[in-house]
Amino acid sequence: MAAGGEKKEHLYKILVIGELGTGKTSIIKRYVHQFFSQHYRATIGVDFALKVLNWDADTLIRLQLWDIAGQERFGNMTRVYYKEAVGAFVVFDVTRASTFEAVSKWKNDLDSKVQLPDGSPVPCVLLANKCDQAKEGLVNNTAQMDEFCKEKGFIGWYETSAKENINIDEAARFLVTKILEKDKAMKLGDNDHDNDKIVIDSNRPTGVEKKSTCC
Amino acid sequence: MTSDLPTEFDFVVLGTGLPESILAAAVSRIGYKVLHLDRNDHYSDQWASFNLRAIERFAEKKEGKNKEEKDYGDKIEESETLVRIPTADSLVENIRVKYYIPEYQECMMLVEDMNKLLAPKEDDKNTETGNNDDTGNGIAKPDETQQTAETDGSQVGISDSHESTKSVDTPIPITDDNTRNTATTDNATTHNATTTNNATTTDNVGTNDTSETSTSHTQNSTTDGSATEETTTKSDQPLRKKKKIWTKGELQDSWRAFNIDLAPKLLYSSGKMVELLISSDVAKYCEFRTVSRVLTQHNQYIEKIPCSRADVFSSKDVSMLDKRKLMKFLEWCAGYHKNPEEYEEYKNQTFLEVLKSRKLSEKLQNIISNAIAMVTQDTSTEEGLKKTQVFLQSVGRYGNTPFLFPLYGSGELPQAFCRLCAVFGGIYCLQMTADALIINKENKCEAIITSEGQRISCKWLIMGSSYSPKQYITTDNKRQLSRCILFTDKSLLHSESQELSLLWVPPSDHNIHPITVLELPQSAMVCPKDLYIVHLTTEGSGDPEADFSPFVSQYLSTDGQTQNDEPTEKPSILWSGYFSQQVYRVNEKTCDVPSNIFILDGPSSDIHMDDPVLQAKEIFKHICPDEDFLPKPPHPDDIIYVDETEATAGEGESWVGEKEEGKDDPKNGTSQKAEQAETESEEKKETPQKTLQETTHDSDLPSDQNIVTANKQ
Ligand SMILES: Cc1cc2nc3c(=O)[nH]c(=O)nc-3n(C[C@@H](O)[C@H](O)[C@H](O)COP(=O)(O)OP(=O)(O)OC[C@H]3O[C@@H](n4cnc5c(N)ncnc54)[C@H](O)[C@@H]3O)c2cc1C
Ligand SMILES: Nc1nc2c(ncn2[C@@H]2O[C@H](COP(=O)(O)OP(=O)(O)OP(=O)(O)O)[C@@H](O)[C@H]2O)c(=O)[nH]1
Ligand SMILES: [Mg+2]
């Protein structure tokens, strides 16, 4: 994370969770790789997709979007998945009310497993995906959706379509704005300052002053 | 949800312990379809880390009600036989949890203030002795505290847990008794008034901010004011800070800060696990801290040993002559791997015999045998040399000692491998297991029946030993693992900074088997600050309290906390948890384990994690001799998605037709997806090597050529 010149760089981990087939992978692909497809194979071998944002003249933001991998389709996340996340999207499918019903479950799971360093919940945006299609259930009632979000602790919600590229950038921008606010307040992801923490890396066997081996 | 599970896998893995998870990741990595189950509601099985609430709840849990055996007659064919998986074995046996401190102290703030304000050591002493003479009103008078703790029923054991449940997982309201016990104090000079108030208004216990008002009461405010601050600020301040006095309530309030390992382990910096973490890139999921001190017991005292050459040479405890001898001996050990022939003559001697013949001082011998090689009387020269060697090779790689500890506990490591497995398409279900294995005529495992009654076929079955049908394994009651977990208020060996220490206690009259002691500070992310977690591990016979009592009584105080803050004072135990773990061995002699079933060991008494790595690798090589064991996956940054066909398809009309299919019926979507994953796996199997080379960081290609995932259909 070498900051070039004056430019500030931030690296944020964002989780994308929600029921099967709600469009999580599609949203990430659309946002990061600018394409959409209805034939996804499970993305194999990749932890996250990286989106680089030139936020403003002096801020560069790298977003790691962590998709749900095979394991998590049954809702059992490893800690590794949640670790150090600073934001999240919970996605449901507007054409299937059952995916909306699971939203609270996902939000609760999220809040129970990860918090910001100050103990507050990580900012989370609700995405009502596939809005290019006929909607089913509560999502038709904006006031009630707002109420729902307030009650469940979502910072906001968007109707999105990965297919038609609707509102995905907007939702991400909104989330990032909130993360930046939090970051200002509490220096997220700054634990790199802990020099004693060791990250194993083949190229970098660092640590201590003296590289002394016995003999 | 589980009906969504595909019915065929290459591998079914039971248990998310460390070797199972490594193996699951390894086979998933090369494209096999993996279903990984765990009967518990958490990852890592016997290697898990728990927060305080979880471990105490664990202690309450009654031994599994024996589920009645379901009839799976309709699920098996005539030629097949059903072998039952034992129902819920618990992870640990006879766990007993106990507090040594009062429930809640209304005068808690007062105590803290006293700590802050009361001051010079003489004063402290006065308080202390005052307590003793003074009709027992003292805050932390040992026996009284003890009493409080016990009468509150805070001792929890599996067998008699029911009475005490209430005290465990909900914060306990302050009872009158407690108030009386602790409220009136004789700490005179300060704020008696405040105390009494606190005692009656029970709600604000622990939340009062009294510091300001009280400072004015003390004579010593200047000097101690500064020392005071540290309780709340940086832990590694060089200034000596006052000891924190804990209550049960406070411990329980910080329940989330605890990550208490069932199987606390370290990594040799140059050991097998570290190598694997690097070569597989699983390292990116974990962070570590170096063990900062290796300790040894010498003439009943605990001492720090010099680990590196620099340490040895700067050590005042070791004479010049001894230093040379030590270096010479270690160099001799280090040369072992280069020309093992030269060591042939020592083959029939034990390592200790060889060591003795070198005429090193008794102190040095102690360091080598107990801190570096960690060997017993029976250890062969070869094994001793190997252990010495990995120690020496590891020193200096990441720190001044050879060891690393995983932040947030050893339980993180199995999860890191599970994540890798999942990223490569492995499917995980917790709280699910196999009820039975289906064995065919050729004595091969054909399928499992899940605890939800689904038949799932597999080519190989991997399981942790605790899942194994009893006929495949043996247990040896004389070789169980005895474990003790302690929360203490300071380190076994005083230091100005937070130390992460390893101590190995050789066998003696008191303990037949060596005891491994791991002392973890807050910076290991396993406990709140002002506290240490001490893990004791030994091979025992099922009575962990007895196994550890000589050590505990020698180095620790079970009398509750006192105000005394001398460096010589023993650490006080605030909380203890004792339990044992069964050690299983595969029963090759008496039983024909089907050749496609592999049973993996649970945690041993070893301090390191190299054996699980070796075991997983050995089985992997047996199953897929020509494949790489956990090669590095592509780095996400290096993957560029190319999607010529799809990009157009996405905009095109074909969409309309397609969407109908998957959308209304999630199940449909799933099975479709599973197939897709399968095709992908298939493809991947053919070219795993290639993908890797194209995508690793190490490749010379400029990153924009690292094109990996082309989504052509
Ligand atoms: C198992 C575990 C792994 C963690 N891994 C990391 C990490 O890799 N990097 C990092 O920066 N921080 C990690 N954290 C802590 C991080 O999430 C918190 O932001 C940080 O510790 C704040 O601590 P606190 O004392 O202020 O919060 P507290 O309110 O004391 O809570 C401590 C933290 O524990 C976590 N937690 C609580 N219960 C559970 C649970 N049942 N399962 C999982 N997590 C729980 C929450 O995230 C919470 O923030 C981890 C915490 C835990 C318990
Ligand atoms: N009409 C429409 N279809 C979409 C949209 N987003 C995704 N889909 C389709 O919904 C299906 C599921 O999308 P995915 O992105 O795979 O969903 P997911 O949440 O990643 O699914 P899992 O990984 O299985 O949990 C695919 O067929 C997509 O083409 C959208 O915005 N509109
Ligand atoms: Mg997906």
CATH superfamily for B8-51+409-473+586-642 is FAD/NAD(P)-binding domain (3.50.50.60)
For residue A84, which ligand has an atom nearest its CA? 1
CB-based contact B578:B483 (threshold 8 Å): yes
CB B489 within 8 Å of CB B467: no
Q: Which two tokens stand for residue B112?
A: 């803290």
Element (H, E) at B533: strand B532-540
The band of A72, judged by pLDDT with boundaries at 50, 70 and 90, is low
Nearest CA to ligand 2 atom 2: A130
- Which residue's C-alpha comes closest to atom 32 of ligand 2? A130
pLDDT number for residue B653: 29
Q: Is the pLDDT of residue B330 over 60?
A: yes
pLDDT at residue number B112:
52
How confident is the model over A111-139, as pLDDT tens digits? 988 989 888 999 999 999 999 999 988 88
Residue B368: which of B291, B307, B292 has the closest Cα?
B307
* Tokens, residue B411: 């339980």
- The C-alpha of B372 sits at a distance from chain A's nearest C-alpha, in angstroms, of 11
Spell out the domain ranges in chain B: 8-51+409-473+586-642, 94-131+153-258+479-582, 308-405
Calculate mean pLDDT across residues B200-219: 35
Nearest chain A Cα distance for residue B414, angstroms: 10
For B630-657, write each residue's pLDDT tens digit: 999 877 666 555 444 443 333 332 222 2
Contacts 24+ apart (CB under 8 A), B526-529: B526/B49, B526/B258, B526/B259, B526/B260, B526/B261, B526/B408, B526/B409, B527/B257, B527/B258, B527/B259, B527/B487, B528/B254, B528/B257, B528/B258, B529/B235
- At residue A186 the predicted structure's pLDDT band, cuts being 50, 70 and 90, is confident
- Strands B532-540, B515-520: pairing is antiparallel
> Ligand 1 in contact with A79 (CB < 6 A)?
yes
Cα B214 from Cα B443, distance rounded (Å): 77
Nearest atom (ligand 1) to Cα of B411: 1
Could you write out the three-class secondary structure of A156-211?
EEEECECCCCECHHHHHHHHHHHHHHHHHHHCCCCHHHCCCEECCCCCCCCCCCCC
Give the least confident one: A204-208, B8-12, B66-70, B511-515. Answer: A204-208
B225: part of which helix (H) or strand (E)? helix B221-232
pLDDT for residue B211 is more than 50: no
The residue among B489, B518, B491, B514 whose CA lies nearest residue B502 is B518
- CA pair distance B704, B316, nearest whole angstrom: 57
Q: Predicted confidence band at B126 (pLDDT cuts at 50, 70, 90)?
A: very low
Q: Tell me, what's the ipTM? A: 0.84
Q: What is the Cα–Cα distance from A23 to A166, expressed in whole angstroms?
A: 13
Q: Is the pLDDT of residue A6 over 60?
A: yes
Position B3 scores a pLDDT of 55
Instruction: Say if CB B259 and CB B49 are below 8 A apart.
Output: yes
Q: State how far the alpha carbon of A110 is from the alpha carbons of A15, A83, A136, in Å.
A: 9, 11, 25
**pLDDT tens by residue, B495-554:** 989 999 999 999 988 888 999 999 999 999 999 999 999 999 999 888 999 999 999 999
Name the phi and psi angles at B483, rounded to 5.
-130, 145
Q: Compare CB distances from B308 to A73, A95, A212 and report the shortest one's residue.
A: A212
Residues with Cβ within 8 Å of B687's Cβ and at least 6 positions away in sequence, in order, are none
Q: What percentage of chain A exceeds 90 in pLDDT?
A: 55
For the Cβ of A65 lying below 6 angstroms from any atom of ligand 2, the answer is: no
Give the A:B interface size as CB pairs under 8 Å.
224
Q: Residue B336's pLDDT band (boundaries 50, 70, 90)?
A: confident
Range with the lowest mean pLDDT among A34-43, B47-56, B472-481? A34-43
Ligand 1 atom 18, closest CA: A117
Q: What does the CA dihedral B607, B610, B615, B617 come to, rounded to 10 degrees?
A: 160
Contact B574, B100 (CB under 8 A): yes
Asked if A73 contacts B427 with a C-beta cutoff of 8 angstroms, the reply is yes
Distance, CA of B184 to CA of B195 (rounded, Å): 7
Q: Which of B404, B423, B634 sits opposite A69 (nearest CB)?
A: B423
Whether residue B560 is predicted with pLDDT greater than 70 in this model: the reply is yes
| pLDDT category of residue B588 using cuts at 50, 70 and 90 | low
Can you tell me whether residue B229 is helix, strand or coil?
A: helix
pLDDT, greater one: B486 or B121: B486
pTM over 0.80: no
How remote is the CA of residue B711 from the centroid of ligand 2, in Å?
A: 15
B571 to B138, B228, B252, B297, B567: CA distances (angstroms): 19, 20, 20, 16, 9
Average pLDDT over residues A86-109: 94
Alpha-carbon span A143 to A135, nearest angstrom: 15
Instruction: State what percent of residues in chain B have pLDDT above 70.
Output: 67
Could you tell me if the CB of A70 is within 6 A of ligand 1?
A: no
* Per-residue pLDDT at B49: 94
Residue A192: Cβ within 10 Å count: 10
Of chain B, the percentage scoring pLDDT greater than 90 comes to 43
Please provide the average confidence, as pLDDT, over all residues in chain B. 74
Q: What residues of A are in contact with residue B288 (Cβ under 8 Å)?
A: 197-200
Lowest mean pLDDT among A83-92, B233-242, B418-427, B614-623: B233-242
- Architecture of the CATH domain B308-405: Orthogonal Bundle (1.10)
Looking at beta carbons, which residues of chain B come within 8 Å of A72? 422, 428
A78 lines ligand 1 (CB under 6 A): no
Per-residue pLDDT, B236: 46
Residue of B63 and A66 predicted with greater confidence: A66
Mean pLDDT of B346-373: 89
**Burial readout B46-64 (b: 16 or more C-beta within 10 A, e: otherwise):** bbbbbbbebbbbbbbeeee
| Ligand 3 center from residue A27 Cα (angstroms) | 9
The alpha helices in chain A, defined as continuous H runs, are 24-28, 79-82, 97-101, 103-113, 142-152, 168-186
Which residue in A has a C-alpha nearest to residue B333's C-alpha? A215
For the segment A34-38, the average pLDDT, to the nearest whole number, is 79
Is the pLDDT assigned to residue B407 strictly greater than 50?
Answer: yes
Taking the centre of ligand 3 as the mean of its atom positions, its distance from the CA of residue A165, in whole angstroms, is 17
Q: For the segment B52-80, what is each residue's pLDDT rounded down to a tens digit?
A: 998 988 777 655 555 677 888 888 888 99
Q: In this model, does residue B492 exceed pLDDT 50?
A: yes
CB–CB contact B422 A196 (8 Å) = no
- B419 → closest Cβ in A38, A78, A133: A78
Cβ-based burial of A60 (10 A; exposed 0-12, middle 13-18, buried ≥19): middle
Q: Binning pLDDT at 50, 70 and 90, where does residue B86 land? A: confident
B527 burial via Cβ count (<10 Å: 0-12, 13-18, 19+): buried
- Give B645-693 pLDDT, tens digit per residue: 443 333 332 222 233 333 333 333 333 333 333 333 333 333 332 222 2
Confidence check: pLDDT of B400 > 80:
yes
Q: How confident is the model at residue B139 (pLDDT cuts 50, 70, 90)?
A: very low
- Region A141-167 average pLDDT: 96
Helices first, then strands: H and E counts in chain B: 24, 26
B269 HSE (CA, 13 A, CB side): 29
Q: What is the per-residue pLDDT for A145? A: 95
Q: What is the pLDDT of residues B236-288, one digit of tens each?
A: 444 556 778 899 999 999 998 999 999 999 999 999 999 999 999 999 899 99
Minimum mean pLDDT range among B106-110, B183-187, B655-659: B655-659
The pLDDT value given to residue B699:
33
- Dig out the tokens for B427 from the structure: 């499917």
3-class secondary structure, B502: strand
3-state helix, strand, coil in chain A (%, to 5): 35, 25, 45
Distance B673 CA to ligand 2 centre (A): 11
The finding on whether B257 has its CB within 6 A of some atom of ligand 1 is yes
pLDDT at position A189 is: 55
Q: What's the order of all strands across the beta sheet hosting A156-159? A: A48-56, A59-66, A8-18, A87-93, A124-129, A156-159
Q: Which of A84, A105, A26, A180 is nearest to B284 (CA)?
A: A84
Q: Is pLDDT of A213 > 60?
A: no
Digit-coded pLDDT (tens) for B430-468: 889 999 999 999 999 999 999 999 999 999 999 999 899
Report which ligand 1 atom has the smallest distance to the Cα of B409.
1
Lowest mean pLDDT among B370-374, B464-468, B505-509, B566-570: B566-570
Alpha carbon distance B695, A19 (integer Å): 31
Q: So what's the pLDDT on residue A71?
A: 57
CA dist., res. B683 & res. A36, Å (int): 22
pLDDT on residue A70: 60
For B54, residues 6+ apart whose C-beta sits below 8 A from its C-beta are B42
B127 lines ligand 1 (CB under 6 A): no
| Residue B105 pLDDT grade (very low, low, confident, very high; cuts 50, 70, 90) | low
Residue B62, pLDDT score: 57
| DSSP calls for B446-478 | EEEEETTS-EEEEEEEEEEGGGS-GGGEEE-TT
pLDDT band for position A88 (cuts 50, 70, 90)? very high
Residues 6+ apart with CB under 8 A from B320: none
- Estimate the crossing angle of helix B412-423 against helix B272-280, to 10 degrees: 30
The count of other CB atoms within 10 Å of the CB of residue A62 is: 15
Q: Which of A11, A44, A136 to mutate to test the interface with B (most CBs of B within 10 A)?
A: A44
- Those residues whose C-beta lies under 8 Å from the C-beta of residue A187, and which sit 6 or more positions away, are none
pLDDT score at B123? 40
- Supply the mean pLDDT for chain A: 84
Pair type for strands B403-406 and B288-290: antiparallel
Summarize chain B as % helix, strand, coil (round to 5). Answer: 40, 20, 40
Q: How far is A109 from A77, CA to CA, in rounded Å?
A: 9
Residue B608: DSSP 8-state = B
Q: Three-class SS of residue A131?
A: coil
